[in-house]
Structure 1
Amino acid sequence: MALTPGRNRADIAGLLGEAPADLPDDENPVDHGLDSARVMALAGRRRPAPGTGTAFGAPAEKPAIEHRASLPGVQG
Structure 2
Amino acid sequence: MAFTVERIRTEVADLLGEDPADVPLDENLADWGLDSVRLMALVERWRAEGAEVAFVQLAERPAVEAWAALLGAA
TM-score clears 0.5:
yes
TM-score by length of 1: 0.81
- Aligned residues: CA RMSD: 1.6
Name stretches of at least 5 consecutive residues in structure 2 with no aligned partner. Answer: none
Matched positions, count: 73
TM-score by length of 2: 0.83
Would you identify which runs of 4 or more consecutive aligned residues in structure 1 move more than 6 Å?
Answer: none
Higher helix share: 2
Deviations 1:30-56 (A, max 9, x none): 11111111112222222242xx51232
Within a 5 Å distance, the mapping from 1:54-65 to structure 2 comes to 54-65=53-64
Q: Percent of aligned positions with the same letter in both sequences?
A: 49
Name stretches of at least 5 consecutive residues in structure 1 with no aligned partner. Answer: none
